[in-house]
Amino acid sequence: MRKKISAVDSYALLYVIKACTKKSLAIEGKQAHTLVIKLGYEPNIFLQTSLMDMYAGTANVADVHQVFDEIPNKNVVCWTSLISAYVQNQKPNRAIEIFRQMQMVDVEPDQVTLTVALSACADLGALDKGEWIHDSISRKPEFSEDLCLMNALLNMYVKCGDIRKAKLLFDNVKIKDIRTWTCMIVGHALHGQAEEALRLFSALEAENKSRSSKSQGTKDQLLVPNDVMFIGVLMACSHAGMVEEGKRYFRSMIEEYGLKPRLSHFGCMVDLLCRCGLLNEAYSFILAMPIQPNAVIWRTLLGSSAVHGKVELAAVARSKLGELEVSLVGDDVALSNIYSANGMWEEKIMLRHEMRQRRTPGCSSVEVGKLHS
């Protein structure tokens, strides 16, 4: 089409930009942006917001903000895209700031804006701001009909630790989807309420069984567990020390539900085995994985080796982290602490010396008014 440039209209460009977003194609996305300018489509607000979304998806927040700044009449969709870009790129503080700015220039947030803002609150653990948004939802009854928004609200309460509010909300949402259930299961799992989490999962399975034996109409309403839900289920087993159940759910996920475990599922299993002190089994499990283990998995084994005083295994895990070139200074601290616990002072001194040469800083975070890292 570019050879016959007169045929390129704003719709063609829009779909090309969407394709770039979907496939995270940064260079092609930029080329599409160039064409938007060359062909004089800059006043098209649909194209501008799509471009913002494309830059957000390719981790280019600076360009998102620049596109936003150059839009003359910013509507609620433009503002929401900007907030979303900061959420997607792990800048929830900035997202909340923009959310405030938007209200100061009298642009009224809609359901989508509030959904995104709640996501930022969840990431920050900002319960007070989340509750403020909940209040503004309550003032618009039609907003409570929006399931995306309700799921975001539920997730906010879960991540901010208000499990009671989360449960109340869950019970009050009449029409739930698989994400609603997943949120609540993860919520219980995160709060150490493994039994509640697994009870919910069983309730969902029972509900599905009863519906699939009934008429065709109810079959359309089946809420089939997906891979994300199994992460919640496995987390619950892990936090409750339920090894055998965890292994059973892992098998059931593959065999009964036909789901392919992803890296995070293997991570859950390693965590489960490690927490129960089955470190050798965890190590064999990692070696037998069909996909390459990442740093989180080796770090789980390392941390657990430290707890259980398994020096050799800790050293293996640390060297794997080194190979992946993503090790944090905390990984070395963990290993160095095992050495001292076992009186291996020479090893400890050598490791500490290596650490001084690398000079990678550690980090922590604390909330003082807002979250600082």
Partner DNA sequence: ATAGGGTTAG
Angle at 149 between CA 146 and CA 155, to 5 degrees: 140
How near is the Cβ of 253 to DNA at its closest, in Å? 13
Among 295, 307, 311, 315, binds DNA (CB under 7 A): 295
User: From residue 112 to residue 131, what is the string marking binding to DNA with x (rule CB under 7 A)?
Assistant: xx-xx--x--x---------
Among 35, 87, 160, 169, binds DNA (CB under 7 A): 87
Q: 168 and 196 in contact (C-beta within 8 Å)?
A: no
* Amino acid symbol at 6: S
Among 19, 59, 254, 296, binds DNA (CB under 7 A): 296
Phi, psi of 368 (to 5 degrees): -130, 95
Rounded to whole angstroms, the Cα distance separating 247 from 115 reads 35
DSSP 4: G
Contact flag: residue 22 with DNA (CB under 7 A): no
Alpha helices per DSSP H over 256-344: 263-275, 279-288, 295-307, 311-324, 329-341
| Residues 135-174, interacting with DNA (CB under 7 A) | 146-149, 151-152, 155, 159
How near is the Cβ of 116 to DNA at its closest, in Å? 5
**Of 125, 131, 83, 123, whose CA–CA distance to 103 is shortest?**
83
Rounded to whole angstroms, the Cα distance separating 21 from 320 reads 34
| Residues 43-82, interacting with DNA (CB under 7 A) | 44-46, 49-50, 53, 75-78, 80-81
- Which range in 90-98, 104-112, 195-203, 350-358 contacts DNA by CB under 7 A? 104-112
- Which range in 38-46, 61-69, 91-99, 279-287 contacts DNA by CB under 7 A? 38-46
Both structure tokens of 11:
């719709």
Rounded to whole angstroms, the Cα distance separating 218 from 87 reads 37
C-alpha distances (whole Å) from 215 to each of 108, 204, 207 are 45, 18, 14
Among 63, 162, 196, 271, binds DNA (CB under 7 A): 271
Beta bridge partners of 372: 366
Among 58, 180, 193, 336, binds DNA (CB under 7 A): 180
First to last CA, the chain: 48
Both structure tokens of 14:
């829009």
Q: Which is nearer to DNA, 269 or 351 (CB)?
A: 269
Among 8, 10, 91, 93, binds DNA (CB under 7 A): 10
Contact flag: residue 314 with DNA (CB under 7 A): no
Q: 289 and 263 in contact (C-beta within 8 Å)?
A: no
**Of 227, 180, 232, whose CA–CA distance to 207 is shortest?**
180
Contact flag: residue 11 with DNA (CB under 7 A): yes
Contact flag: residue 316 with DNA (CB under 7 A): no
Both structure tokens of 43:
């006043």
Among 25, 36, 124, 231, binds DNA (CB under 7 A): 231
How near is the Cβ of 214 to DNA at its closest, in Å? 24
Packing angle between helix 45-57 and helix 61-70, nearest 10 degrees? Answer: 170
C-alpha distances (whole Å) from 133 to each of 13, 85, 208 are 36, 19, 34
How near is the Cβ of 215 to DNA at its closest, in Å? 25
Rounded to whole angstroms, the Cα distance separating 3 from 23 reads 23
- Which range in 89-97, 226-234, 341-349, 363-371 contacts DNA by CB under 7 A? 226-234
Among 31, 93, 144, 264, binds DNA (CB under 7 A): 264
- Which range in 29-37, 207-215, 257-265, 334-342 contacts DNA by CB under 7 A? 257-265
Contact flag: residue 84 with DNA (CB under 7 A): yes
Contact flag: residue 232 with DNA (CB under 7 A): yes
Size of the site for DNA (CB under 7 A): 67
Packing angle between helix 311-324 and helix 279-288, nearest 10 degrees? Answer: 30
Question: Which stretches of the chain bind DNA, using CB under 7 A?
Answer: 9-11, 14, 18, 21, 44-46, 49-50, 53, 75-78, 80-81, 84, 87, 110-113, 115-116, 119, 122, 146-149, 151-152, 155, 159, 177-180, 182-183, 186, 226-229, 231-232, 235, 238-239, 262-264, 266-268, 270-271, 294-297, 299-300, 303
